[in-house]
């Protein structure tokens, strides 16, 4: 018997063509640029907010007081504002809570509307208006939030106040629906409704897109098994699109968390922890930054940038949670 010697493996290498090498450099450059940009922004936020975090530590996140001493808004030096007696206090607890509460209200309203709307367009709308609806939806997603804010103040507040009154009237035994003063305008609830209107087009558009990719075969199978359309939607379309809908919702949530102008127009900024969503007080981080930035002192600007960093981190965490949920719920084919 002859023994066959196992040969030494030869080194193998993939050789790319010149065009491939050039293209590779271009796309690598593009990817690196956006990463670098993100890095620079983070570095800027961290450096400029370091002072604030050093001074206030965790209180910056948990506290509920924002007081800027030092320079007089009118330009003159304020008496007693000597350097060692700086009484400024910066903390944004209520704004963080406000951001989350308003965004949560918006998502609770927007999600069912989006899923229903997406299912209608994809499975029930007459073919003749299907195209129109799809392009209208994409158009609506591109409307600037300022427009929603203006609509919110001018038109929706009156309606929202009526809903809020009803909720307070019937459900005030639930703490979040009780209020101290029956003044429902400019409340997180009304602002959340406007934010929902702003978010609905995006989440609907994404949901419709994923629903439309359900294999026709699977839907047909449901019919072939004696199922109804609703049965097919419930047992095939919705599970199939679940991860996509969650991704769409997170996209909407990201927008809701960072929304500035609409909230700026819709809410009374109050630095007080409040979970009474019908109460005429609230705020969120982004709109607070926009409101304070124009007249801020140097120290205050550092605090505002720190607020920006906190918002940045919150958005990052939300996105990470989202992608892990999407990864976990994506059906394996």
> Which chain residues interact with another protein by CB under 8 A?
127, 215, 217-218, 220-228, 231-232, 235-236, 239-240, 242, 331-333
Q: Helix (H, G, I), strand (E, B), or coil: what is residue 228?
A: coil
What is the DSSP secondary-structure string of 159-194? HHHHHHHHHHHHHTTSGGG--SS---TT-HHHHHHH
CA 168/CA 278 separation, integer angstroms: 8
Nearer to another protein, 101 or 247 (CB): 247
Query: Which single residue is written with the structure tokens 């290498």?
Result: 13
Phi, psi of 71 (to 5 degrees): -75, 145
Could you tell me the smallest distance in angstroms from the CB atom of residue 332 to another protein?
A: 5
Nearer to another protein, 178 or 221 (CB): 221
Could you tell me the smallest distance in angstroms from the CB atom of residue 130 to another protein?
A: 11
Could you tell me the smallest distance in angstroms from the CB atom of residue 324 to another protein?
A: 18
Nearer to another protein, 85 or 333 (CB): 333
Could you tell me the smallest distance in angstroms from the CB atom of residue 213 to another protein?
A: 12
Assigned token pair, 296? 């801020």
Phi, psi of 164 (to 5 degrees): -65, -40
Nearer to another protein, 144 or 231 (CB): 231
271 contact partners, CB below 8 Å, separation of at least 6: 64, 65, 66, 94, 95, 283
Q: What is the CA angle 59-42-39, rounded to 5?
A: 160
Could you tell me the smallest distance in angstroms from the CB atom of residue 230 to another protein?
A: 10
Nearer to another protein, 112 or 215 (CB): 215
């Amino acid at each position: 018997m002859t023994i066959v010697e196992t040969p030494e493996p030869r080194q193998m290498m993939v050789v790319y063509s010149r065009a491939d090498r050039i293209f590779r450099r271009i796309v690598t450059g593009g990817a690196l640029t956006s990463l670098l940009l993100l890095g620079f922004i983070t570095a800027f936020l961290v450096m400029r907010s370091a002072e604030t975090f050093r001074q206030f530590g965790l209180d910056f996140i948990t506290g509920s007081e924002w007081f800027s001493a030092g320079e007089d808004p009118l330009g003159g030096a304020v008496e007693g504002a000597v350097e060692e007696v700086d009484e400024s206090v910066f903390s944004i607890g209520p704004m963080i809570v406000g951001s989350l509460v308003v965004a949560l209200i918006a998502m609770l309203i927007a999600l069912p509307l989006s899923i229903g709307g997406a299912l209608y367009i994809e499975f029930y709308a007459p073919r003749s208006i299907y195209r129109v609806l799809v392009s209208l939806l994409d158009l609506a997603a591109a409307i600037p939030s300022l427009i929603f804010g203006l609509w919110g103040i001018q038109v929706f507040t009156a309606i929202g106040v009526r809903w809020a009154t009803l909720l307070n009237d019937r459900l005030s035994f639930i703490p979040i629906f009780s209020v101290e003063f029956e003044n429902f305008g400019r409340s997180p609830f009304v602002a959340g409704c406007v934010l929902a209107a702003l978010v609905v087009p995006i989440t609907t558009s994404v949901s419709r897109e994923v629903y439309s990719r359900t294999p026709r075969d699977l839907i047909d199978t449901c019919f072939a098994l004696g199922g109804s359309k609703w049965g097919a939607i419930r047992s095939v379309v919705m599970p199939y699109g679940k991860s996509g809908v969650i991704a769409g919702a997170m996209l909407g949530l990201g927008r809701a968390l960072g929304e500035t102008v609409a909230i700026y127009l819709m809410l009374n900024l109050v630095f007080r922890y409040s979970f009474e969503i019908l109460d005429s007080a609230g705020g969120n981080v982004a709109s607070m930054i926009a409101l304070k930035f124009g007249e801020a002192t140097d120290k205050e600007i550092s605090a505002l940038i720190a607020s920006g960093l906190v918002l940045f981190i919150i958005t990052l965490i939300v996105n990470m949670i989202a992608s892990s949920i999407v990864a976990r719920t994506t059906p394996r084919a």
